[in-house]
Structure formats: structure tokens, C-alpha cells
Amino acid sequence: MQKGISVNVLTRRIVKGSIAALSIVVAICLFIYLAFPQTILTIAASAQRKSAGMTRDIVRIGDWDIPYFHGGRANGENFPIVFVHGFGDTKHTFVHIGQRLSNEYEVYALDLPGFGETAIRPNEDYGPELYQRTLAGFLDKLQLTRVHLVGHSMGGAVAAVVAQDDPARVATLSLFAPAGVNGAEPSELEEIVAAGGENPLFYETREQFERLLGMAFNDPPEISSLAMRGLVSRGAQRNEVYREIFADLQGQRDQLQMERCVQLLDVPTLVVWGDEDRVVSVSAADRWKELNPAIEVNIIAGEGHAIVNQYPGKCAEWLRQHMQGFSHNVVSLE
């Protein structure tokens, strides 16, 4: 009988101890969630990157430390792919697309200065030349002598300039809703900015971030409260730098020079655009084609700006077809 009581007492103590330990763990997690919302986001992103078979590294380019992802397998028959993200975005955008191509290609995705995991540095010159030097320097430092370049939005303009400047280094160029060339009609974002309204690209609150999602996606994704807190926190932390970058890019933009760049592009180029893009006007697709008839332009019915985020499988297939030289008469996502 005495032995049975001892066992019960021991059991109760173990249960109480377990509950106390669990309570401490919950309290720590709650503290991290409330005090460091970006930590949860970083942990989740790291897990996703590792699941995709990619490693993370840093390369020094000029006076910037540039984090990048690297995955896939080197293949003597296929050149590596380098992904370049857009404004306010990060290298992580291309994890899912890269994963789908990694059995055939070596893949790289870098953070551009001011974005992702790069330093937050106010009062810098964030003009177009910084981003062009960064991408060219990235290829130099990693000794990537010939690549497939893929760019989205702002990253599309950067990739196009680098490809035109050094065509021998670029096997193919693939651009999703590229910035840099004006269309016949302004986008909704461009109209807001021209009218002096609140730029949707800048956000510090959940409401502002949801407005941006609604503008970038025709069908905005569901985001957990954990991820939402981290994303909003990241935007708030970089808000002032984002404003500087946007102002520098706009202030130093040379439309005629960019159009000349498109005219002189001498690499196989694919341009993909959603016909309901509210960020960068799809009417610019006609201008790209007019400037350089050799460019293949595909308009995706019923889609917005964030095609690379929303349809990684389709994007990977379009890229594969373009890089392998197949025809790509894509007109819808059906």
C-alpha cells in the first residue's frame, strides 16, 4: 500500500513538472511571437529553403554583403539559372520555382541591396546602377560565365540591362511583368503615385499590407497570423529604406535609355505578363514587343502582378520550355 502511494505521488510530481515545463515553453514562444515576430518568419523560411534542398551563403559585392540561395545540381549540358526579385521582395520568392527546376539546373537567387536580409542602410544611392552592378558582380564573384537570367518586376529591368550589356554571358532571359518601360496606359499603382496618393508598396500595418496583397494578387493567398505579423514587421522595419529606394529609382530613371536597352537585346527573351496587372501596366508588353520584335511575349488571362508567387509550377514549366528552346504559346492558366 505504501509503495502504491509513492508511485502515485511520483506520477503527480512528473505530471506537474511536465505541465510547468510546457508552460515555460509556451511562455517563451508567446514572448518570441509578440516581441520578435520576424523570428518566426525566418524560422519558417529557413525550413522551406532547406526542404527545397537549397543552401544559404553570403558574397561580398562592393561594400554590400549579399545573401543568396544556391541549389540544384551542376549539369554540363544546362547553364545555371539566376533569379532576380522585384521591389520589396526577396530571394525567397523563387524557392518553389527553383526547387521544381533543381533536378536539371543549378539555381541561384540573391537579395538585392536594401531588400531581404541585406543591411538596412539609409542615405545610400539606390539608383538603377547599384542593382545592375550588384547582379553583374554576383555573376563575377561566383564565376558564373554563362547563365539563364530570370527577373520579376524591378528585377526584370535589372536583368534586362545586364543581359544587354553582356549578351555572351546570358543564354536566355525570362522576364515576368518587368518594370522599366512605359506602356500606353498607366497601371493603378502608377496613377496613385502620380496623383500624390499613399503608395501601396510601403506598409507598416496589417491593413496596408493587405492592400498591397490585393493589388499584387488577383486572388490574395491566405496568410497565417504568425506569418502576417512577421511580414508586417519586416515591412515596417524597412519602410523608410523602401521609400528611399523608390525615390532613387524614380528620380534616376531614364526611359529612353531603357528603351534603347530593349532594342539592343540580343539574347532569346521571354516576357510573361498578367493581363490584369495593377502594379506594372500590361500595356507595356506591347512596347517591349514593338521595340524588339524578336522578344516572345505571353499574356496570361485573368492574372495580376504576382505570377511568380502564385503559380510556381506553371512558371517553372514556362522557364523550362524557354530555356530548352521549345515554343511557348501560353495564353491561360487552365
What are 266-312's pLDDT values in tens digits?
999 999 999 999 999 999 999 999 999 999 999 999 999 999 999 99
At residue 221, does pLDDT exceed 90?
Answer: no
pLDDT at 230: 86
What digits encode the pLDDT tens for the residues 166-180?
999 999 999 999 999
The whole-number pLDDT of residue 218 equals 87
Q: What pLDDT does residue 9 have?
A: 55
pTM to 2 decimals? 0.86
Q: What is the pLDDT of residue 186?
A: 95
Name the residue with higher pLDDT: 76 or 262.
Answer: 262
On the question of pLDDT at 326 being above 50, the answer is no
- Take residue 63 and report the three cell numbers written for it: 561594400
Q: What is the pLDDT of residue 14?
A: 52
Lowest mean pLDDT segment, chosen from 12-16, 116-120, 128-132, 276-280: 12-16
For the chain, the domains span: 1-35, 37-323
Give the pLDDT of residue 22. 46
Mean pLDDT computed over 16-21: 50
Percent with pLDDT over 70 in the chain: 85
Predicted local confidence at residue 170, as pLDDT: 97
Looking at residue 296, what is its pLDDT? 96
- Write out pLDDT tens, residues 85-105: 999 999 999 999 999 999 999
Task: Give the pLDDT score at 35.
Answer: 46
- pLDDT at residue 51, as a whole number: 82
Handedness of CA 130, 131, 134, 135 (dihedral sign): negative
Q: Other CB atoms closer than 10 Å to residue 71's CB: what's the count?
A: 21
Q: What is the CATH number of domain 37-323?
A: 3.40.50.1820
Handedness of CA 275, 307, 64, 149 (dihedral sign): negative
CB contact burial 25-51 (16+ within 10 A = b; e otherwise): eeeeeeeeeeeebbebbeeebeeebee
